Structure 1
Amino acid sequence: MAEAGAESLAEMLDERQHLLEIALWMFGSNLAADHVVQETYRRWYSLDDAARAGIAVPRAWLTRTAGSICLAMLTDPDHVPTTPGRPPDPVTHRAVGQAAPGPELLARHDRVARRFAGACAAGDTAELRGVLAPDAIVVSDGGGKVRAAVRPIHGADAVARFVAALLIGQPGTEVTLGSVNGRTGLVLRRAGRAVAVVSVSVAGSEVTAVWIVLNPDKLRRWH
């Protein structure tokens, strides 16, 4: 992980837990979530040194890759594992799996998430665009019960438009901060009932990915 432009090892290791949490949101299965993370890191380590060195923000790359794997599994249930696969590489699994987010990473995530939430609450699309990384993505999960984007949306402009249409300016919607999988996220409520839970992935001072859960079945505990 010593490539030029790569983030610190601690940040790379910390991202694994976040990827696990995202996959658990999508599938509710530890087995499926572990498969997503193993496949994400398998693709990372299958890159040659030159390819990895050319990735300016590994965290963003990992997040996008995990998102595409999740979406492929959601659209093709046959790809969702139901029996344990081969165990991950013991060195990689042990080193990555035991990492815990440090206070500095959590504090930075909190600052960026609050800026994102503030833009949503204020309906400030310019500020929203400003907090997004140029290659940001948004993935939404409606569970087939609520209209959501079928595929990830790429690019800060497109993400800002989608988030603004979905989260900003909806009558009677209250945007609040909440702890989402142990990190600062957003909870949107109407008439006291949760209608969306939003988590963001952060690199530096920018949001690299927005994960929106709209599936009513997954929102019950947030009411």
Structure 2
Amino acid sequence: MTTERGAGSLQEMLDERRHLLEIARWMFDSAAMADRVVQETYRRWYALGDAERAGIAVPRAWLTWTAGAVCLELLAGSEPAAAGGGRTHVPEPVQGRPATFDGHDRVVRRFAAACEAGDAAALRAVLATNAMVVSDGGGRVRTAVRPTHGADAVAHFVTELLAGQAGTELSVGPVNGRAGLVLRQAGRAVAVVAVSVAGTEVTAVWIMLNPDKLRHWHRG
């Protein structure tokens, strides 16, 4: 028999599909790739045992985090686990409750202030222990695409990418319907950052660097 909690979790999972598609499409600019990311994310959900699924307090947080892991695999050029029929072993996803709209805004502003100051300690303080960063790896601000998990590694990655860039301006603005970060040089966006938040912590940082995708955020 389906429990009330199980039914609620299923509804959360279905409601999250649109969000997962939007993030994947934002990273890859391809409907086919976005659908591939979401399909693999759901495959991993259904590959879990009943006890494992029952232990996931917030399915949408698990799904968002797992979609990020799939994006990292595809961006790095290695096929996701589905190609081999097995499961990719990655650290356990963050299990916090998704933040309210206002709570998300407050956390992102803390995150932005730490980025702007280049303060790695302040960044670690706002990041969940098992946070991840996903980047498309292209654009004027170059960075290698690599799986990056954990507050220390993410803080280092983000500090190198967003802090101390000569002639740049870092601002908070709407990204995918919620507060995110935009890095500009002479009014032209060179990086846009979407942020996933649970409770009072950043759980995932999604960085777009491809200049073809950044025109919407240019000024003037």
TM (norm. structure 1) is 0.75
Once the two structures are superposed, what CA deviation does each residue of 1:16-42 show, in whole Å capped at 9, x if it has no partner?
Answer: 333222101122223332332232123
What is the aligned residue count? 197
Q: Does the CA-based 8 Å contact 1:195-1:216 persist in structure 2?
A: yes
- AA paired with 1:169? G
- 2:155 — aligned with what? 160
- AA paired with 2:26? W
Determine if the alignment matches structure 1 residue 119 to structure 2 residue 117: no
Unaligned ranges ≥5, structure 1: 80-101
- 1:83 — aligned with what? none
Determine if the alignment matches structure 1 residue 196 to structure 2 residue 197: no
- Following superposition, the deviation at residue 147 of structure 1 comes to 2.6
- Following superposition, the deviation at residue 14 of structure 1 comes to 5.2
Unaligned ranges ≥5, structure 2: 81-97
Q: After the TM superposition, which residues 140-159 of structure 1 pair with which residues of structure 2 at under 5 Å, given as runs?
A: 140-143=135-138, 147-159=142-154
Instruction: Tell me how large the CA RMSD over aligned residues is.
Output: 2.9
Q: Does the CA-based 8 Å contact 2:114-2:122 persist in structure 1?
A: yes
- AA paired with 1:164? T
- SS of equivalent to 1:2: helix
Q: After the TM superposition, which residues 59-78 of structure 1 pair with which residues of structure 2 at under 5 Å, given as runs?
A: 59-76=60-77
Once the two structures are superposed, what CA deviation does each residue of 1:20-70 show, in whole Å capped at 9, x if it has no partner?
Answer: 221011222233323322321231132112212444654443233212322
Determine if the alignment matches structure 1 residue 2 to structure 2 residue 1: no
Change (3 A) 1:145 1:192: closer
Change (3 A) 1:222 1:131: same
Sequence identity (%): 71
Q: Using the alignment, how far apart are the partners of 2:73 and 2:19 within structure 1?
A: 19
Q: Does the CA-based 8 Å contact 2:139-2:211 persist in structure 1?
A: no
Q: Does the CA-based 8 Å contact 1:57-1:203 persist in structure 2?
A: no
- Following superposition, the deviation at residue 200 of structure 1 comes to 0.8
- Following superposition, the deviation at residue 15 of structure 1 comes to 3.8
Q: Using the alignment, how far apart are the partners of 1:29 and 1:115 within structure 2?
A: 32
Q: Using the alignment, how far apart are the partners of 2:116 and 2:11 within structure 1?
A: 32
Please identify, of 26-35 and 180-189, the stretch whose mean Cα deviation from structure 2 is larger.
Answer: 26-35
Q: Does the CA-based 8 Å contact 1:140-1:152 persist in structure 2?
A: no
Q: Using the alignment, how far apart are the partners of 1:10 and 1:179 within structure 2?
A: 27
- Following superposition, the deviation at residue 204 of structure 1 comes to 1.2
Q: Using the alignment, how far apart are the partners of 1:114 and 1:146 within structure 2?
A: 22
Change (3 A) 1:219 1:144: closer
